[in-house]
Amino acid sequence: MNVKRAIGVVGVMIAVMVALTGCFKLNMAVKVNNEKSLDYEVVYAIQKSVLGEKPFDEFMQANGNGSEDMDIPEGSTVVDYEDDKYKGKRISAVNLDPAKLAEASSSESPFELKKDGDFYVITMGGVTGSGGSDPSAARMAKSIFDEATVKFTFPGKVVEAKGAVVDGNTATFDMLAINETTVQAKAEASPGVPMWIIWVLVAVLVIAAALVLLFVLLRRRSGQQALAPAGATPYNQPGYGPQQPGYAPQQPGQQGFQPPQQNWAGQGYTPGAQPVQPQAPQPPQWQAEEPKPDDGQVPPPPAAPPTSGT
């Protein structure tokens, strides 16, 4: 079932369905894969309170046409749809040729997807059956809808979509809130760099910066320890001093430290003997003769020493 054909049928039925104002729901979604491929889905449903006990197809037949009379793009599937408020049909297709969707349209401005340089452009009109030249008929066609949205999703970022709510690479049109009968969206054809790759690159840069900072801090700490004075205590080693030159710690199995032997005897000291108390200085054993008065006589020479053997 093609949604535009469905809306065209609804337009024909307007005269007999005025009492059904605000009872229909239409949600369309188109995802562009490339210039020759797209995924397509549309939900067209009626409020359960209006259907009563009748199935959707029976209700549509009773009001002029059944869903089997609606055009369905070649390659699409049709299944029943139901939620808490609505019942109807879901039409979907995967890897659909855009030309087939255009062929199934009854609108004056059928669906069109084209490549414009590095961009995709989608144009589509008459989504709510309000694409005609009669403004009053357009208003009446819109009035039967309680909800009508169209969503286009592209490989790249949406750069232009008048009247739509844009979220990255998706443009969503509320067809009941805009005055345009034809919608258009333009987006980049290339997806660009995925966000997960950007986040991975950011994480790698943060880790690399942390490693560089850690390396610089360790090098700085190593340089400070190398420049510390000989008697200084290394960082975070309380009570430990550096080894003195010429001293090696005693290893198990080695003899203990032996002090050098001193030559006590050469110094006049015998180990174990009582120390000698120093004596007070003694006066000299001779006394100087008192000088005799000079009487002018020359003293006789001293006697010669006795010779040996006499």
How far, in Å, are 70, 191, 204 from residue 198 at the CA level?
47, 13, 10
> Which secondary-structure segment (H or E) carries 167?
strand 164-167
- Pair of tokens at residue 159: 């750069």
Half-sphere exposure of 293 (CA within 13 A, CB side): 1
Q: Which residues in 66-103 are b (16+ Cβ under 10 Å) and which e?
A: ebeebbbbeebeeeebeeeebbbbbbebeebbbebbbe
Spatial CA neighbour of 8 closest among 65, 86, 75, 77: 65
Please measure the distance between the N-terminal and C-terminal CA atoms of the chain and give it in whole angstroms. Answer: 177
The pTM (predicted TM-score) of the whole model is 0.56
The single-letter DSSP state of residue 4 is H
DSSP, residue by residue, 213-244:
HHHHHHHHHHHHHHTS-TTSPPTT-TT--PPP
Q: 183: Cβ–Cβ under 8 A, 6 or more apart, which residues? A: 123, 124, 125, 127, 150, 161, 163, 164, 173, 175
pLDDT of residue 85: 92
- Pair of tokens at residue 94: 């995967």
| Domain ranges within the chain, ordered by starting residue | 3-188, 193-223
Question: What's the CA angle centered on 136, arms 135 and 140, to 5 degrees?
Answer: 115
pLDDT of residue 103: 86
- Spatial contact of 77 and 115, defined as CB atoms under 8 Å apart: no
pLDDT of residue 114: 93
Question: What's the CA angle centered on 188, arms 187 and 191, to 5 degrees?
Answer: 125
Residue 70 to residue 252: CA distance in whole angstroms: 102
- Which H, E and C letters describe 65-127, residue by residue? CCHHHCCCCCCCEEEEEECCCEEEEEEEEEEECHHHHHHCCCCCCCCEEEEECCEEEEEEECC
Sheet holding 158-160, edge to edge: 112-116, 119-125, 182-188, 158-160
- Pair of tokens at residue 200: 């991975």
pLDDT of residue 16: 47
The pLDDT averaged over each successive group of 10 residues in the chain (310 residues) is 50 50 86 94 91 86 64 86 92 93 78 92 77 61 84 95 94 88 90 72 90 86 68 52 52 54 57 59 55 58 59
The residue type found at 267 is: Q
pLDDT of residue 12: 46
pLDDT of residue 3: 46
- Spatial contact of 119 and 186, defined as CB atoms under 8 Å apart: yes
- Spatial contact of 57 and 68, defined as CB atoms under 8 Å apart: yes
Looking at the DSSP assignment, which residues form a beta bridge with residue 183? 124
pLDDT of residue 98: 92
